[in-house]
Amino acid sequence: DAGVIQSPRHEVTEMGQEVTLRCKPISGHDYLFWYRQTMMRGLELLIYFNNNVPIDDSGMPEDRFSAKMPNASFSTLKIQPSEPRDSAVYFCASTYGTAGNTIYFGEGSWLTVV
């Protein structure tokens, strides 16, 4: 299996622009997660889906962030408008069943907002 695939790997954008991050989970996985990692706050869970349905979005920092999962093989995390403080690495991850199973992470999307 190709693993969790994220795009873009790197993005530099100007403040105020819309940013869309994309994720393809591992086939057969029914859970999908979006994490954000910064030096100050470490790894934070933003939102997770089960069978394409958002289960908990309490980690989403504010209304500028939104996530969708239109089908089992695709998810997006959108930031509109972007701000410099959104600069971080955004990881998508997936698993099946329970957290007792391995959570597989993608390589991350490195976002810089200038």
Question: Site residues (CB under 8 A) for another protein?
Answer: 4, 31, 33, 35, 42-43, 45, 48, 55-56, 58, 91, 93, 98-100, 102-108
Rg (CA), the chain: 13
**What is the spatial distance between Cα 8 and Cα 22, in angstroms, rounded to a whole number?**
7
C-beta of 112: minimal distance to another protein in Å?
A: 14
Amino acid at 93: A
Tell me the closest approach of the beta carbon of residue 81 to another protein, in angstroms. Answer: 27
Nearer to another protein, 65 or 91 (CB): 91
Nearest approach in angstroms of CB 102 to another protein is 4
Least distance from C-beta 114 to another protein, angstroms? 20
Q: Which is nearer to another protein, 81 or 104 (CB)?
A: 104
Using the minimum distance from each CB to another protein, give the nearer residue, 54 or 81: 54
